[in-house]
């Protein structure tokens, strides 16, 4: 039996070029890589909802506004992540990292990537359920819950990274 993969190793496997915040001069770059990966995944989810809107319109379903509202929420989250100031200056300007703080930041990163993947999967489910009103309604509620939870984690990570 092999050893368990650490959070840093998992992130390095998921995000090409990620260094695990190990080198001071690459910290901002690592932060941008993580946020880029999360934003790209949310952009994919947004495209799934755009396809779901088209399919929903074809079958005249009643959830067009619900899908559109979630698409807008995804667009806002993607933009918030992608265009956040590189490196959250307050945190990354520090010269030294404490191991505990670094571990917590890595945990936030891993959680955000995992949640973004869950959001993408739920968006795909919505796209697949466009012709099934009851299943579509439940999928929309599930995605809304996932987006609310994601926003909370994102806010906590940004506050932590800003040194608050």
Taking only the tens place, the pLDDT of each residue in 28-55 is: 777 788 889 999 999 999 999 999 999 9
Q: pTM of the prediction? A: 0.81
Q: Give the model's confidence band at 26: pLDDT under 50 very low, under 70 low, under 90 confident, else very high.
A: low
Listed in sequence order, the DSSP H helices in 15-163 are 27-58, 64-82, 89-92, 99-128, 133-161
Please give the structure tokens belonging to residue 70: 């979630």
Average pLDDT of 6-17?
Answer: 74
Could you tell me the CA-to-CA distances from 53 to 60, 75, 123 in Å, in that order?
A: 10, 15, 11
Taking only the tens place, the pLDDT of each residue in 81-124 is: 988 755 444 444 543 456 677 778 888 888 999 999 999 999 99
Q: Would you give the end-to-end CA distance of the chain in angstroms?
A: 41
């Amino acid at each position: 039996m092999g050893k368990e993969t650490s959070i840093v190793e998992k992130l390095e496997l998921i995000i090409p070029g990620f260094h695990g915040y190990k080198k001071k001069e690459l910290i901002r770059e690592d932060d941008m890589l993580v946020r880029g990966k999360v934003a790209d995944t949310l952009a994919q989810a947004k495209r799934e909802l755009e396809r779901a809107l088209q399919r929903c319109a074809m079958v005249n379903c009643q959830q067009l506004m619900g899908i559109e509202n979630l698409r807008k929420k995804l667009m806002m989250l993607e933009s918030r992540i992608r265009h956040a100031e590189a490196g959250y200056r307050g945190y990354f300007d520090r010269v030294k990292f404490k191991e505990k703080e670094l571990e917590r930041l890595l945990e936030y990163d891993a959680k955000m990537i995992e949640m973004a993947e869950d959001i993408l999967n739920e968006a795909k489910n919505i796209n697949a359920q466009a012709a099934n009103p009851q299943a579509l309604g439940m999928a929309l509620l599930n995605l809304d819950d996932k987006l609310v939870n994601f926003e909370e984690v994102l806010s906590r990570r940004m506050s932590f990274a800003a040194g608050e």
